[in-house]
Amino acid sequence: MRLMVLAISNKFRLFLGVLFALILCQSTLFAQISAPTSSYSSITEYSVGGTQDEIFVFCDDANVGVGELKAVSSDGAEDWNFTWTQWDSGTNSFSIPVFTDNAVGESTISNLPDGRYQVEIQKGVEDESFIVWAFNQVKTIKPSLVLDTKDCNGVAFISTLPVNQYPDINAATPRTLNVSTSVVFSFQRDNIELQRLPLVDYAGLPKSFFDNQVFVNEADYKVIVTDECGFEYTSETKSEKTYKVDAKFTLNPSTGEAPLEVSFETNDANATDYQWYLYQDETRVDGPVEIRDSLLIDITTGMNENFTYTYLHPGEYNVKLIVTNTDDAMNCVASSTNKIIVEGSIFEVPNVF
């Protein structure tokens, strides 16, 4: 019997010990600060190691300051005092009073401007404090769009979106707030998207965009950036032209019976000079220009933008267009080739040579 009583007593002591440990753990785990209405969070990267602060970011569509922080005591009992203060960079201390809540189990402060906040939770000799940053992501920023280069390859731009920064409490240089979700750059010409660039943890570095397409006259470029809040930021419009040429042309028709009259027409309106070559030997595009396709030698039609030519005899012929853009002292050159098939006809044209 005595052994049984001793066993029960030991079990009871063990139960009390576990219960006491759970109470201590609960006290440690449940005292906290949070931001339930924040859109995302990050961690500071102060230049000097040590304790880092959590950062909460709030999507502030109306630019009114929507930051909200909530602190909860360790046991939830309504006998705690909460003292909120804001960091003063001039004194390097939490000397700016914000709000005091007495005899409560939790406390919330709202409509906060950007800043570093501290809450001290106190009851008797128990005292805990938490430090966090609050930032309001607003829609007033505008991405930049700057012309980088414009040459024979196309038009290139550089774009940057300003990002949130927080003061480094250990140095004079502010730190960049790296977001935890995607930021998307949309590079557009005349409201048509040319490039889409999703970025994770964007840190405000310049991003390059390139338009290698051929178009006529000036075009309007812009960048639209969508951030983690779903806000869209549109850059100023930049009007630019391109020097690039592509020497594209059409044949009408490209096949048919001899004699076959073919119309040659280029679609490259940026070119200032045109050189058309008609030939059969693919290793040659220059040489004698005597216009006799029946002799199977090369011919050129000169510098006209569009022209027509009649093929008198059957065969497979080549056409090559070389275009040049000398606008603004540039020398952009492009070329393209195509084939023409002239079929035999019952009305064969005699060879007079």
Predicted confidence band at 131 (pLDDT cuts at 50, 70, 90)?
A: very high
Higher-confidence position of 33 and 140 = 33
| Model pLDDT, residue 21 | 46
| Model pLDDT, residue 97 | 97
Candidates 118, 136, 135; CA nearest to 127 is 118
| Model pLDDT, residue 158 | 98
Q: Global pTM?
A: 0.74
The pLDDT tens digits for 240-282 are 999 999 999 999 999 999 899 999 998 888 999 888 888 776 5
pLDDT above 80 (res 77): yes
Measured CA to CA, the distance from residue 332 to residue 7 in angstroms comes to 97
The pLDDT tens digits for 322-333 are 899 999 989 999
- Chain mean pLDDT for the chain: 83
Q: What is the mean pLDDT of residues 42-58?
A: 87
| Model pLDDT, residue 140 | 81
Higher-confidence position of 101 and 201 = 101
pLDDT above 60 (res 348): no
Measured CA to CA, the distance from residue 168 to residue 153 in angstroms comes to 43
| Model pLDDT, residue 45 | 87
| Model pLDDT, residue 304 | 72
Q: Where are the beta strands (DSSP E) in 90-191?
A: 93-104, 106-112, 115-123, 126-138, 144-151, 154-160, 165-166, 175-176, 182-189
| Model pLDDT, residue 141 | 83
